[in-house]
Amino acid sequence: MTGPGPAAIKKTAQPPVTRLTRSSSSTQSRQSDPTETQESGPGLYGKQRKKQTDSALAQDLSQMSVSGQDSLSTSEGKMSKGSGDSVQAAQSSGSKPDLSSPSVVSAKSSSRGGLASVARLVKLGRCKNVVVVAGAGISTASGIPDFRTPGTGLYANLEKYNIPYPEAIFNIDYFSNDPQPFFSLAKALYPGSHRPNYIHYFIRMLHHKGLLLRMYTQNIDGLEKVCGIPDDKLVEAHGSFATASCHLCYTTYPAEEAKHAIMSDNVPICTFCAATVKPDVVFFGEDLPQKYFLHTKDFPKADLLIIMGTSLQIEPFASLVNTVRSTVPRLLLNRHAVGPFERVPLRRGDHVELGDLEDTVRRFAEMLGWNNEIEELMRSQETQCLPTLISNPPSVTPCQSRGASEPPARLETSRSRPGAQRGASSGSSEETDSETDSKSSASSGLSN
């Protein structure tokens, strides 16, 4: 690894709640990212971003505390997760936290019977507003590498992209300077060549049973939609390839044309300002889609939180798991204990099931009596035509760029970038949850 390139050095500090960052608790990875430790004077654009960030931070934190959530430290204006959460859990249970205890050991010992306990709760009809939080680990069974798994993760295989540090590939300033590393990766990640797996269909089955309040995914592979989870049940918190826009002025660009250009090793160019177009995947330092803020309503309503296949390293997403009510059961399904599940004692109602995710989810489905239905659903879905993942905006409209004569149509929250408004307007889901795709209720569906 060499030092950061010029674009990375220009990067300003970026600790927003509403922008994609890596977890503040991950000291080791923070140190490895030069963009987060170097200060430099931002240009005009940088100043605008910083101002929005500060107000976004205040607003988001106030929303969190108004909803009475636990485990979200606001001291010194910083998010806390990981050990902070464990300490709080320990304090609330009256015992002393063991901060030196190896996470895997503690998690394993606490996981016995956890899956069965949660299955029992579901069967008893106690979980009717299930929130699922997911990451790249749900798609490795579909052949898509995650970020951090040693050996196979994307971060272990980035030399070929000729970048100074792994996160540069998702750094907006780096992209601005040199889009090729991301475009090379995008060619491999573009939806189309991978199929959803059992885990995706398990989540679809939660919806089918009328139990899914919302799925929050960090994934950009679009497999949730391919397996049939409806748009209004899904928050793609880190964006997707389904739409594209100028990375600078946010003018929309036909996603299919962007894909065609990228797949042909060309650079799609904004028709308005001639900057580079990129798929609307959220990069470090960029705003999350407006739909992400459904979390302020969903998490307080949740009666079961299932966390699967994520290292909980990317903020603000990672801290979502701390915003369900303290009495709500949380089930972590992963290869390793992560986030607040890393240390003992676990919060009362926390369950951890470590191991291969697909195996675990199959066992869970069997306990619930859903396995046959899921397999049947997979068979029927796989024989149907695939839904189109790329939606072409009706027209390419001028953006709300700094140079545009029209003032930008901003949302009420200062966190949103114009590009995010498109997601917000399509995300009327806040008030209009879809019907489930089955008439079966949780209890009737569980009787078999």
Q: Active-site positions?
A: 238
273 is annotated as contributing to ligand binding:
yes
Q: Taking CB under 6 A as the rule, does residue 146 contact ligand CNA?
A: yes
* CA–CA gap between residue 185 and residue 181 (Å, rounded): 6
Q: How far is the CB of 140 from ligand CNA (least distance, A)?
A: 4
Give the one residue of 4, 82, 114, 135 binding ligand CNA; rule: CB under 6 A: 135
Contact 162, 189 (CB under 8 A): no
Letters for 231-270 (x = contact with ligand CNA by CB under 6 A, - = none) are -------x--------------------------------
CA nearest neighbour of 291 among 130, 418, 429: 429
Mask of contacts with ligand CNA, 304-343, x by CB under 6 A? -----xxx-xx-------------------xxx-x-----
Residues 21, 286: contact at Cβ < 8 Å?
Answer: no
Stretch that binds ligand CNA, among 100-108, 130-138, 252-260, 265-273 (CB under 6 A): 130-138
34 counts as binding ligand CNA under rule CB under 6 A:
no
Q: Return d(Cα 393, Cα 422) in angstroms, integer.
A: 10
Q: How far apart are CA 419 and CA 241, in angstroms?
A: 13
Evaluated on CA atoms 10, 12, 17, 22, the torsion sign reads positive
Task: Establish if 389 lies at the interface with ligand CNA (CB under 6 A).
Answer: no
Asked if residue 422 binds ligand CNA (CB under 6 A), the reply is: no
CB distance 274 to 267 below 8 Å? no
CB of 436 to ligand CNA, least distance (A): 25
Among candidates 299, 280, 351, which has minimal Cα distance to 131? 299
The answer to whether residue 218 forms part of the interface with ligand CNA (CB under 6 A) is yes
Looking up tokens 């971003």 gives 49
Report if residue 158 touches ligand CNA, rule: CB under 6 A.
Answer: no
Q: What is the DSSP string of 133-178?
A: EE-GGGTGGGT---SSSTTTSGGGS-GGG--SSGGGGGBHHHHHH-
Is residue 153 part of the contact set for ligand CNA (CB under 6 A)?
Answer: yes
Q: Nearest-CA neighbor of 380 among 196, 171, 218, 149?
A: 196
Contact region with ligand CNA (CB under 6 A), list: 117-125, 177-185, 218-226, 257-265: 218-226
**Number of amino acids touching ligand CNA (CB under 6 A):** 29
Helix (H) or strand (E) holding 91: helix 83-93
Confirm or deny that 399 is annotated as ligand binding: no
Closest residue by Cα to residue 138 from 238, 222, 49, 242: 222
> Is 249 assigned to a binding site?
yes
Q: Which of 79, 127, 131, 136 binds ligand CNA (CB under 6 A)?
A: 136
Q: Which is nearer to ligand CNA, 272 or 283 (CB)?
A: 283
Asked if 177 is part of the footprint of ligand CNA (rule: CB under 6 A), the reply reads no
Q: Tokens 């699922």 identify what position?
A: 132
Return binding residues for Zn(2+).
Answer: 246, 249, 270, 273
* Residues at the interface with ligand CNA (CB under 6 A): 135-137, 139-141, 144, 146-149, 153-154, 218-221, 238, 309-311, 313-314, 334-336, 338, 356-357
